[in-house]
Amino acid sequence: MVPLSFPTSFEFCGEEWLLTEGRALYWPRERTLLVADLHLEKGSFYARHGQPIPPYDSRETLERVALAIRETGARRVITLGDNFHDSDGSTRLEDHAAGMLDALTRAVDWVWITGNHDPEMEARLGGMLAEELEIGGMVLRHQARQGETRPELSGHYHPRLQVKVRDRMIRRACAVVSANEDVGGRPSGRMILPAFGAYTGGMDAADPAILAALQPANRIDAVVPAAGKLARFPLWKAA
């Protein structure tokens, strides 16, 4: 599979966007940073169920959010669901991670969009809670809604590109972007963000579930940041 282009930023639905190598999406016009599937406290969740793993995933994830804010100059952060690995996750934050999260939600405008892992997330963490939002004509929700024709940003699927290079299989977290035309004939599309959390796995970007979730579409591509550039790989195209 050969990448089609290598822009440093890209256009989506008539807007400029930047996909950072840290798996965050920045919207310059809105000065907004978007991150999906933080899955905070996944380590402590597994420890409760007899699978002890290092309990510092929340620290690492929040440090990466802070870095993305500094790199982009974002004034607002919007998460796209599955913020905690479970609805009780916020009660297990150790003091250091809780302090980091408190500092972040005070430093910028912060909006939590809830997901299937944390539908009953508490509002006591700072910021605002929402099931979904619409900003500047862009719908923001946790899971892509099949049949949606409006511009949309979502998470949920943890897309990961799998490509073979010199007899080696390389797997990289990626965004999956569809292109379409809405009823008025204007360019439109939808995007599934990569999972941001430290302990998040991934689903093949070309998995039928992902391709189906982004229908209707004219084409669907994987977008991967690497070394300050952006590579675009075709996944599906209408006949």
Q: Give the Cα separation of 128 and 113 in Å (integer).
A: 8
Q: What pLDDT shows up at residue 46?
A: 63
Contact assessment for residue 38 and residue 83, using Cβ atoms and an 8 Å cutoff: yes
Q: What single-letter amino acid sits at 65?
A: V
Q: Quickly list DSSP for 12-44.
A: ETTEEEEE-TTS-EEEGGGTEEEEB---BTHHH
pLDDT tens over the chain, length 239 residues? 444 444 568 999 999 999 998 899 999 999 999 999 999 988 676 666 667 777 789 999 999 999 999 999 999 999 999 999 777 778 888 889 999 999 999 999 999 998 876 766 665 678 899 999 999 999 999 999 999 999 999 999 999 998 877 788 878 999 999 998 765 666 789 999 999 998 888 999 999 999 999 999 999 999 998 777 888 999 999 98
Q: Which pTM value belongs to this model? A: 0.91
Cα-based torsion angle of the residue sequence 99, 101, 104, 105 in order, rounded to the nearest 10 degrees: -110
Largest CA distance in the chain: 54
